Amino acid sequence: MSAPAFRRDVTILVPSATLHAHAVSRISEEFRLVRIERADIALITPELAAQVRGIAAAMTVLDATFIDALPKLEIIGYFGMGYESVDAAHAASRGVIVTNTPDVMNEEVADVAVGLLLACVREFGSAEAWLRSGRWMREGNYLLSAATLRGRSVGIFGMGRIGTAIARRLEAFGVSIAYHNRSRNDAVPYRYFPTLLEMAASVDTLISVAPGGPSTEKAINAEVLKALGPDGVVVNVGRGSTIDEAALAEALTTGVIRGAALDVFADEPRVPQALLDAPNTLLLPHIASASRRTRAAVADLCVDNLVSWFDKGRPLTPVRECADLPYRAG
């Protein structure tokens, strides 16, 4: 079905050289698409300022200055869950709705979190290297793994949508499960810890799926790692900024904890050399949600939010800062 004429005249700005191809293709079918290289006010011409009513973006800094350079802006459709690069509080203060893409990535990211945990404790990476380098043939069996998933107690930092999906999977593995959020999540039966440090002292496995931003910046620090203990394993599928990476590399190198499996880093795509050099460390290039199927679902929800706003006057999945904004039409 082709887009209604009133919507085809709405200008949506994509302020980056990269956005998922399906999102770009859908925006160009549904709206008038304009692209600029980056979110830089120097690239906003008077014509653009007068026309842009929506933005679609991923992993792009959209600060107050950029938002203010677009006086007709009504909605920012963020592609992804972690929208800390968008000044959503400022957008809300201007009446601009910000949406993100909750739920469509839960299962995919949870699968990867469990895969990382298993691969790390049972040393899949070095065991495979043993086989490929011919050592199995020459030297015999790979060493027994020092760690196991058996008997582990897992603490999840961020028991939200994805945290809950991870916990559901872990129940089947027979490990104990606890969590830390700022507030108790009444929808789950697991043990709640009001501080990350208390939880780290009571578990040996920390899975972080907390969002980025100032409230979680370097929350997993040297003290938390020490509390986890020498059998400790850290898995991070949330945001790299939640870990003090220098402290983590030090803890791995000195045996303060046993291992780490990370999908996310503080300054992607740069990965600190100290982490590349650290033992028992499994590193992935931020792929937890990166299957074709799931990223297409993210693209659809990103664009569906824009369509719903301009057709019906209401967004589908506004972020917390914008949840109380009045909608455009009833």
Name which of 72 and 320 has its Cβ closer to ligand NDP. Answer: 320
Q: Which of 55, 264, 282, 297 binds ligand NDP (CB under 6 A)?
A: 264
For the chain, list the strands marked E by DSSP: 11-14, 32-35, 52-57, 75-78, 97-99, 153-157, 176-180, 191-192, 205-208, 233-236, 259-262, 281-283
Residue 221 binds ligand NDP (CB under 6 A): no
Residue 115 binds ligand NDP (CB under 6 A): no
Name which of 74 and 77 has its Cβ closer to ligand NDP. Answer: 77
Q: How far is the CB of 291 from ligand NDP (least distance, A)?
A: 10
Residue 229 binds ligand NDP (CB under 6 A): no
49: left (phi over 0), alpha (psi -120 to 50) or beta: alpha
Residue 239 binds ligand NDP (CB under 6 A): yes
Residue 55, both tokens: 């933005």
Amino acid letter for position 253: T
Residue 58 binds ligand NDP (CB under 6 A): no
Omega before 269 within 30 of 0, i.e. cis: yes
Amino acid letter for position 286: H
Distances in whole angstroms, Cα of residue 228 to Cα of each of 96, 169, 232, 257: 42, 22, 5, 7
Residue 163 binds ligand NDP (CB under 6 A): yes
Residue 149 binds ligand NDP (CB under 6 A): no
First-to-last C-alpha distance (Å) of the chain: 24
Q: Which of 145, 148, 195, 215 binds ligand NDP (CB under 6 A)?
A: 215
CA distance 100 to 78: 5
Q: List, by residue number, the catalytic residues.
A: 239, 268, 286
Q: How far is the CB of 236 from ligand NDP (least distance, A)?
A: 8
CB 105 within 8 A of CB 289: yes
Residues 287-306 that bind ligand NDP (CB under 6 A): 288-289
Residue 111 binds ligand NDP (CB under 6 A): no
Name which of 3 and 61 has its Cβ closer to ligand NDP. Answer: 61
| Interacting residue ranges for ligand NDP, rule: CB under 6 A | 81-82, 102, 105, 109, 158-163, 180-183, 185, 209-212, 215-216, 237-239, 263-264, 286, 288-289
